[in-house]
Amino acid sequence: MIRRRDALLSTLFGAGYVGLRALATGLPASLLLDPRKALAAAPTPACPTGASAKAQFVIFSTSGNGDPINASAPGTYDDPKVVHSMDPTMAPTSLTLAGQSTKAAAPWATLPQSVLDRSTFWHIMTNTPVHPKEPDVLKLQDSTLADEMLPSILAAQLAPCLGTIQPQPITVGATSPSEALTFGGQALPIIPALALKATLTSPAGPLTNLQPLRDQTLNQLYDLYRNGATPAQRAFIDELVTSQTQVRSIKQNLLDQLTSIKDNTAASQMLAAITLIQMKVTPVVAVHIPFGGDNHRDVGLAAETAQTVSGVATIASLMAQLASAGLSDQVTLMSLNVFGRTIGPGNTDGRQHNENHQVSFAIGKPFRGGVIGGIAPVMGDYGALPIDSTTGQGTASGDVSAINTLGAFGQTMLAAVGVDPATIATQITQGKVIKGALA
């Protein structure tokens, strides 16, 4: 019988734990899987045709709750009829996104200017008010090739460029079945932060044995290296091999990070995501950052206030940790939830589902900070406006209709991380790339 721990390790690191051996040696997984074939081929794996050095790791926040991010985000403070939390901690506050002046709830203004200048806030329509339809939203409402989910499309395109162990995304934050991901039509396991910690940091865990694993793997390759590699290939391998000193540093750093995980909260999910990225396990890690939840009955919008404050604080902490790890230019944070919330008059003690308006954020080097799209009155509340694909402005005359803004968000996320236009058009059939969002 396969033990749960072994199954989890196989999920994370592949057959024969090739990913661990890659981490321990510094050598590409492709070389370790088939050394002779890898040496006979090009020295480094090529990105898909048209991909570029823009490739990013992605932390993808998604929620089936339909959080009221749209009630606090930039782009909803120009119309005085929009209902915001009246709590002083959520006071309307001026901020600047890459030179664009706007207003948002006060927590957003606490993000460092360097982060705000890379932050885009997307006013889009998901076209569903139903919680269990989140998988359909992640599939961009039937506009993706073979009904693939956006995080899985991103992962498949990015894996060859980033040299990750696997192309599948990993979910560490799903709180309901609707937040689970699929890849190629197959359901993917959910690996909570605590499960990741328990598996990797136990006394007999894989991280405690990195140095012996390094030496064992290099010894196994020695004969091929000595007798089957050209001088150029030997130089290539020598350049990649991680020293024992480096392995000790990697081991201690990862163990320290994982040991600090105490629960499965958003903060712990960020630690897990950074660790998986540093181990180059996957291009995309899915998390859940709460931003108010399913707040039908929320007296004085108290839960919305508290979770918006904590949600933005989680983002700020993540960005600080990425900077400390030297990953600020290599990791992008994106969000996409099943729907937004009603923000019109009468929503002072709770909010209802809003199929016409949801706010996503995208924060990272590929983006020029700003507000993408906008809002207009729809059916007694507010919905997303069409978007001008050149400027990103929300306008009734925009060439991306409101119902296609979801597809446009997906297309732009792919363009931001270097996927070529032909592949984008094949993968997502609705919407357009919003050029005004890109740096």
Axis-axis angle for helices 244-259, 210-228 (nearest 10)? 140
Domain boundary among 218, 243, 262: 262
pLDDT tens track for 336-347? 999 999 999 988
Report how far residue 239's alpha carbon sits from residue 404's, in angstroms, rounded to the nearest whole number. Answer: 47
Please list, residue by residue across 76-102, b when 16 or more beta carbons sit within 10 angstroms of its beta carbon and e when fewer do.
bbeeeebbbbebeebeeeebebeeeeb
Q: Which two tokens stand for residue 20?
A: 């661990």
Tell me if 120 sits within 8 A of 367, measured CB to CB.
yes
Q: Which of 242, 262, 282 is the last residue of a domain?
A: 262
- Give the range of the structural domain holding residue 99, as residue numbers without chain letter: 53-192+264-437
Q: Are residues 8 and 75 in the same domain?
A: no
**Pair 155, 284 in one domain:** yes
Same domain, 165 and 305: yes
Regarding whether 291 and 255 lie in a shared domain, the answer is no
- In terms of Cα–Cα distance, which of 380, 430, 436 is closest to 402? 430
State yes or no: pLDDT of 52 exceeds 70: no
Q: What is the CATH number of the domain that holds 152?
A: 3.40.720
Query: Same structural domain for residues 29 and 160?
Result: no
Instruction: Look at the chain and report how many structural domains it folds into.
Output: 2
Angle between helix 266-278 and helix 193-201 axes, rounded to 10 deg: 50
One domain for residues 282 and 355: yes
pLDDT at 16: 75
What is the pLDDT confidence band of residue 41, given thresholds at 50, 70 and 90? low
Cα distance between the two ends of the chain: 51
Tell me: do 174 and 323 sit in the same domain. yes
Max Cα separation, the chain? 77
The pLDDT value recorded for residue 372 is: 98
For 5-10, what is the mean pLDDT?
77
Residues 283 and 258 in one domain: no
- How would DSSP label each residue in 263-301? SSSHHHHHHHHHHHHHTT--SEEEE---SS-S-SS-GGG
The pTM of the full predicted model, rounded to 2 decimals, is 0.93
Mean pLDDT of 83-96: 98
pLDDT at 122 over 80: yes
Residue 233: pLDDT band (50, 70, 90) is confident
One domain, residues 214 and 187? no
Same domain, 97 and 232: no
Distance, CA of 191 to CA of 273 (rounded, Å)? 11
Q: What is the per-residue pLDDT across 276-298, written as a single tens digit (0 to 9) for each?
A: 999 889 999 999 999 999 999 99
Do both 291 and 426 map to the same domain?
A: yes
The answer to which of 4-13, 23-32, 45-54, 360-369 has the lowest mean pLDDT is 45-54
pLDDT at 1 over 50: no
> What's the rounded Cα separation, in Å, for the pair 111 and 216?
46
pLDDT band at residue 172 under the 50/70/90 scheme: very high
Nearest-angstrom CA–CA distance, 79 and 59: 32
Running DSSP on this structure, what letter comes out for residue 355? Answer: T
Average pLDDT over residues 172-197: 94
With bands split at pLDDT 50, 70 and 90, how would you rate the model's confidence at 311? very high
DSSP string, 219-243: HHHHHHHHHH--HHHHHHHHHHPPP
Confidence bin at 143 (pLDDT 50/70/90): very high
What is the rounded distance in angstroms from the CA atom of residue 88 to the CA atom of residue 266? 24
Same domain, residue pair 309 and 339:
yes
